[in-house]
């Protein structure tokens, strides 16, 4: 396939175009053609019954690769960023609560989607991240099911839960969800795409055949921007539209603050909805110094869109990180109109910025993953808005320092939702930094606490080195505990540390 007579003309000793732009164009055409040839070869190794669906998947990958080759420089001209229009971001506090008798009708128009493609490996766990216990031995998935069952029971509704799995999490998730059979929640799953990793030097797939299980390192799930096409191709989108459902609420399964919000739903399908429907809502929240890398909302070419740090020219990164210039960041809680998703997929008007994720595999091979982000589709929908929500709707668990917060007495568990304790005097969460070497993995982290300290009055905690905590410890104000290399610090049971620095030789100083 690679040496057809037609190919020879391109690969032979023809004169290299002198114009560098023309040379680049020829190089790009060659790269695309060689990739397509390689993918054709891979498809021949697939089982005949899988070939049609794989062909569809590879066509999407080729389209992504083609756009990657065509893109030159940042997708945003910085000088053309416009000021956010006054009505672009709504204040959550201005939203009205629905009348109780309307809630059932509203919920029956909703589908809840959770992004469930990630593994727990970064926190030292095996299998899907959604099955890590986070509170009272309940996992992310347990809490999600509890939340939706509570909604369905309270309002006699039938909100379905949809899990977007990846090839990494699908098999394990299917086994786990069997235990929810008796719950009042209908659970559906579908798989996002499985794309080939490409070699950074040759731009060709590193996979030798289509057997993903045989060489799992050669494949990757291409980010949550893949949601729209795979959701539609799964036929679930059509099913829900036929049932009369109108919106989906989509969020990361590890964001414990992303619960169904009736005030936002009221704005979309209830008494507060506008004459012209809102097709896309991005929940944003106020940026703090801890969120400077998070995507933000901008107005560009008269459209509201997501700006990620990867799209920012190097010389403008400090400006992007400024809390004054860009006040909001994206929580990745998205509300989207189902028939609008169908339309943009059908008309091929989805155009999300490509995230180039360079990785080095364990064998030293450098590969490229081409990904997209679900929020980047915002500009492809009509009537998109942002809603500035309370910080409590953004409670992700990415590291053990986040797990420390959600396991603590800072939160109470109520019907699967975490609610901040009324004893906390201010609504912000403490800033917690736990050393990666000793606290990075869940098992190690849990082994260092007899139980999670009382942190109701904590502002800031930094722990570094070989440190353990006894039972009933209380941390208040700013606490810094640093065990030097070779030293060990054991915080005794019942200790109260308020504005203290604990150094390697166990001296306790006022902060």
| C-alpha span between 347 and 341 (Å, rounded) | 10
Query: Can 433 be counted among the known catalytic residues?
Result: no
Binding residues for substrate, as ranges, are: 224
Phi, psi of 127 (to 5 degrees): 80, -175
Structure tokens at 423: 């004893």
Query: How do 280-286 and 384-388 pair as beta strands?
Result: parallel
| C-alpha span between 123 and 472 (Å, rounded) | 25
Is 11:37 a contact under the CB 8 Å cutoff?
A: no
Give the DSSP per-residue string, 378-409: GGGSSSEEEEE--GGG--B--SHHHHHHHHST
Structure tokens at 286: 């106020």
Binding residues, as ranges, are: 129, 192, 223-224, 254, 398
| C-alpha span between 165 and 117 (Å, rounded) | 4
Structure tokens at 202: 């040759």
Structure tokens at 298: 């901008």
Q: Which residues contact 393 (CB under 8 A, 6 or more apart)?
A: 257, 258, 259, 261, 283, 285, 331, 333
**HSE (side-chain half, CA atoms, 13 Å) at 44:** 8
Query: How do 508-510 and 496-502 pair as beta strands?
Result: antiparallel
Please count the residues of the chain: 511
Active-site position among 80, 398, 399, 441: 398
Is 125:132 a contact under the CB 8 Å cutoff?
A: yes
Any long-range contacts for 237-241 (C-beta under 8 Å, 24+ apart)?
Answer: 237/338, 237/341, 237/342, 238/342, 240/111, 240/160, 240/338, 241/338, 241/339, 241/342
Quick one: which of 332, 330, 331, 334 has its CA closest to 307? 330
Phi, psi of 189 (to 5 degrees): -135, 150
Sign of CA dihedral 299, 305, 309, 313: negative
Q: What residues are paired with 388 via a beta bridge?
A: 91, 284
Q: What residues are paired with 318 via a beta bridge?
A: none
Query: How do 488-491 and 303-307 pair as beta strands?
Result: unpaired
Q: What residues are paired with 488 via a beta bridge?
A: 466
Sign of CA dihedral 332, 78, 76, 342: positive
Q: Is 160 helix (H, G, I), strand (E, B) or coil?
A: coil
| C-alpha span between 400 and 441 (Å, rounded) | 7
Point out the residues that are catalytic. Answer: 398
């Amino acid at each position: 396939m690679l040496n057809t007579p037609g190919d020879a003309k391109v690969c032979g000793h023809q004169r290299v175009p002198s114009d560098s732009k023309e040379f680049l164009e020829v190089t790009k055409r060659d790269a695309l053609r060689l990739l397509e040839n390689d993918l054709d070869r891979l498809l021949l190794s697939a089982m005949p019954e899988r070939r049609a669906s794989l062909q569809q998947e590879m066509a999407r990958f080729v389209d992504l690769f083609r756009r990657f080759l065509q893109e030159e420089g940042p997708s945003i001209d910085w000088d053309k960023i416009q000021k956010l229009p006054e009505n672009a971001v709504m204040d959550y506090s201005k939203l009205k609560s629905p009348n109780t008798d309307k809630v059932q009708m509203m919920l029956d128009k909703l589908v809840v989607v959770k992004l469930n493609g990630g593994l727990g490996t970064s926190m030292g766990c095996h299998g899907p991240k959604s099955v890590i216990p986070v509170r009272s031995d309940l996992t992310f998935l347990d809490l999600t099911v509890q939340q939706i069952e509570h909604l369905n029971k309270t309002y006699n509704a039938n909100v379905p839960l949809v899990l977007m799995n990846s090839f990494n999490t699908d098999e394990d998730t299917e086994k786990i969800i069997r235990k929810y059979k008796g719950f009042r929640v209908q659970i559906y799953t579908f798989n996002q795409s499985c794309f080939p990793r490409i070699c950074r030097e040759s731009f060709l797939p590193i996979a030798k055949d289509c057997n993903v299980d045989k060489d799992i390192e050669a494949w990757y799930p291409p980010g949550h921007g893949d949601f729209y096409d795979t959701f539609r191709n799964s036929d679930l989108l059509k099913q829900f539209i036929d049932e009369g459902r109108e919106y989906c609420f989509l969020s990361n399964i590890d964001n414990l603050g992303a619960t169904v919000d009736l005030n936002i739903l009221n704005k979309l399908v209830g008494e507060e909805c506008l004459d012209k429907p809102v097709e896309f809502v991005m929940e944003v929240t106020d940026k703090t110094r801890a969120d400077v890398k998070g995507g933000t909302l901008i107005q560009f070419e008269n459209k509201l869109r997501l700006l990620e740090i990867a799209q920012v020219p190097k010389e403008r990164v400090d400006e992007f990180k400024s809390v004054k210039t860009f006040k909001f960041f994206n929580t990745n809680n998205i509300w989207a109109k189902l028939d609008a998703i169908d339309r943009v997929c059908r008309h091929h008007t989805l155009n999300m910025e490509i995230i180039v994720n360079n990785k080095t595999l364990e064998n030293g091979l450098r590969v490229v993953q081409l990904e997209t982000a679900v929020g980047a589709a915002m500009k492809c929908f009509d009537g998109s808005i942002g809603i500035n929500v309370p910080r409590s709707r953004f409670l992700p668990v990415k590291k053990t320092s986040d797990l420390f917060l959600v396991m603590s007495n800072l939160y109470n568990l109520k019907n699967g939702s975490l609610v901040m304790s009324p004893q906390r005097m201010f609504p912000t969460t403490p800033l917690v930094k736990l050393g990666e070497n000793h606290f990075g993995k869940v098992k190690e982290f849990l082994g260092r606490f007899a139980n999670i300290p009382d942190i109701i009055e904590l502002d800031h905690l930094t722990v570094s080195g070989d440190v353990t905590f006894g039972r009933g410890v209380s941390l208040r104000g700013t606490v810094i505990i640093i065990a030097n290399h070779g030293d060990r610090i054991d915080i005794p049971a019942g200790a109260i540390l308020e504005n203290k620095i604990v150094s390697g030789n166990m001296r306790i100083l006022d902060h």
